[in-house]
Amino acid sequence: MDKQRSATITRALIQWREGLQLSRREQSVLGPELQGLDRQLQRLQERQLRVAVFGRVGVGKSSLINALIGDEALATDVAHGSTRRQQAVPWNRTWGDGGLLQLVDTPGIDEIAAPARERLARRVATGSDLVVMVIDGDISAPELAAFRTLQDSGKPTLLVANRADTYSQAERHQLTDTIQARCGSDEPLLWVAAAPRRPVVLADGRVRRQAAAAELGALQQHLDQLLEAHGELLLALNSLRAADHFSAQLLAWRLGQRQQAAQALIGRCASIKAAGLAANPLMLLDLAGSAAVDSTLIVQLAQLYGVRLRGPSARRLLQRVGRQSLVIGGVQWGLQGALSLIKQLLLMAAPFSGGLSLAPAAPVALAQAALAVHGTRITGREAARQLLLSAHRGPARPASLLRRLQRADPQAQRWLAHHQSWSPEVGLP
Ligand SMILES: Nc1nc2c(ncn2[C@@H]2O[C@H](COP(=O)(O)OP(=O)(O)OP(=O)(O)O)[C@@H](O)[C@H]2O)c(=O)[nH]1
Ligand SMILES: [Mg+2]
């Protein structure tokens, strides 16, 4: 991704953030998410990339960070569980044109239940632009599950195998094949030795394993290339995803808050329509009256969701809702017309049948009313869905920016191949 596109995305995101009108209650309910988003946007402006090191307990995550920064900044231990909480350390090297780097050490993913592991993987993924997942032999089921979680969340992830010093070259080749097959990935497996121990023959002839220099060549080289080629993209992608995620959470929250009000509104419109249909003897008025109630419902729903309905966009929305609810409720409209016709014929026949034909008119009117309620519910739901989509889809919205970037950049497309975007189906009335 070139610098110009990166600057455009940064500008658009900052503008979007400044334009977010959050109530006090929203700021407090979504406080932690908002802080996370603001941190990410700040890093985007400062061009500070965050690389998280992630994996099982004791695979050598902290040792790897120490080896990369060339300093024993983090505690390491043979005893498992020496890193208890996430910790970021600055990495004294740059990428691109003066971009900064931070490495994040994380606690091990095993010894915790699967749901917690998934949450941890998601948290690590959310807070970093790139993940280095460390294994130290064949990939286990929990490791594979965590790797998949990272991939499914669209997180660029490098798979690194540590303790290269404890395997022969033939063993390493064989392990590479097995692991790549298990992961279903053609990405390279990068072998390193973060804190190797090499056998040394002592003066008395005994052999002892002694600490030796770290071997990080494959990873260093891969990281150099990746950061030079895609540093800007990594930062932009994670920022867009963070913004998209926040915007989805905000919408879902607002939707949840207004769900009851929307339901009540739909119910009120349904009863107005039902009463009008039951009382009205004329077929055309039946249909026109129903359509009028549905339009009023849409306009009022729009007000409720805070979506401005004006000009062509309003027309398009009404047409879309109309089309959808007509397709879904097509049968209902057909039946409604037929029932209106029957009702009208029964009324017209009244003078000739001595009023007897009026008797079946009442159940027909009731059937119409029941259909009307059902139809209004369909229209209400569809209107709510379309209104939300329109609120989520504006050209400057993170979701649209993300889609555009995905279309324009093949590397973004690859990274986001498994990524599932938020869908506004949740919490509809
Ligand atoms: N032989 C060998 N030992 C290593 C290597 N890397 C790390 N170790 C050893 O593995 C042990 C665990 O290393 P840590 O870096 O603490 O592992 P961790 O993944 O951070 O562990 P937790 O924080 O407990 O999850 C230490 O005794 C390291 O010296 C390596 O490449 N080769
Ligand atoms: Mg550690």
CATH of the domain at 52: 3.40.50.300
Task: Mark whether 110 and 181 lie in a shared domain.
Answer: yes
One domain, residues 194 and 54: yes
Task: Say yes or no: CB of residue 209 within 6 Å of ligand 1.
Answer: no
Distance 153 CA to ligand 2 centre (A): 24
Q: Tell me which of 186, 215, 244 is where a domain ends.
A: 215
Query: Which contiguous run of DSSP H or E holds residue 384?
Result: helix 361-393
Q: How does residue 290 score in pLDDT terms, banded at 50, 70 and 90?
A: low
Whether 69 is covered by a domain: the verdict is yes
User: Both 174 and 278 in a single domain?
Assistant: no
Domain tally for the chain?
Answer: 2
Query: How much is the pLDDT for 6?
Result: 87
For residues 115 and 190, state if they share a domain.
yes
- According to the per-residue pLDDT averaged within each range, which of 55-59, 254-258, 357-361, 400-404 is highest? 55-59
72 Cβ inside 6 Å of ligand 1:
no
426 in any annotated domain: no
The dihedral formed by the CA atoms of 385, 388, 394 and 398, expressed in degrees to the nearest 10:
-110
Same domain, 171 and 264: no
Q: Write out the H or E segment, with its range, that includes residue 61.
A: helix 61-69
Give 150: exposed, middle or buried? Use CB within 10 Å, 0-12, 13-18, 19+: buried
- Whether residue 272 is found in the same domain as residue 383: yes
198 shares its domain with 266:
no
* Position 332 in a domain: yes
What does the pLDDT read at residue 328? Answer: 45
Please choose, from the candidates 298, 305, 310, 309, the residue with its C-alpha nearest in 3D space to the C-alpha of residue 269: 298
- Least Cα distance to 141 among 56, 79, 58 occurs for 56
Residue among 186, 77, 55, 187 nearest 132 (CA) = 55
Per DSSP (E only), the strands in 148-233 are: 157-161, 190-191, 197-201, 207-211
Ligand 1 atom with the smallest distance to the CA of 196 is 32
Instruction: Provide the domain limits for residue 333.
Output: 259-415
User: Has residue 90 been placed in a domain?
Assistant: yes
Residue pLDDT, tens place only, 306-329:
666 666 666 666 666 666 555 544
Based on the fold, state whether residues 163 and 100 are members of the same structural domain. yes
Distance, CA 269 to ligand 1 centroid (Å)?
A: 66
User: In this predicted model, what pLDDT tens digit does every residue of 21-43 receive, in sequence order?
Assistant: 888 999 999 999 999 999 999 99
**Of the residues 76, 124, 190, 191, which should be mutated to test ligand 1's pocket, given the most ligand atoms within 8 Å of the CB?**
76
CA atoms in the 13 A half-sphere facing the CB of 233: 22
Residue that finishes a domain, picked among 197, 215, 233: 215
Same domain, 203 and 307: no
Q: Cα separations (Å) of 49 from 44, 102, 229, 428?
A: 8, 6, 14, 38
On whether both 165 and 53 belong to a single domain, the answer is yes
321 and 175 in one domain?
no
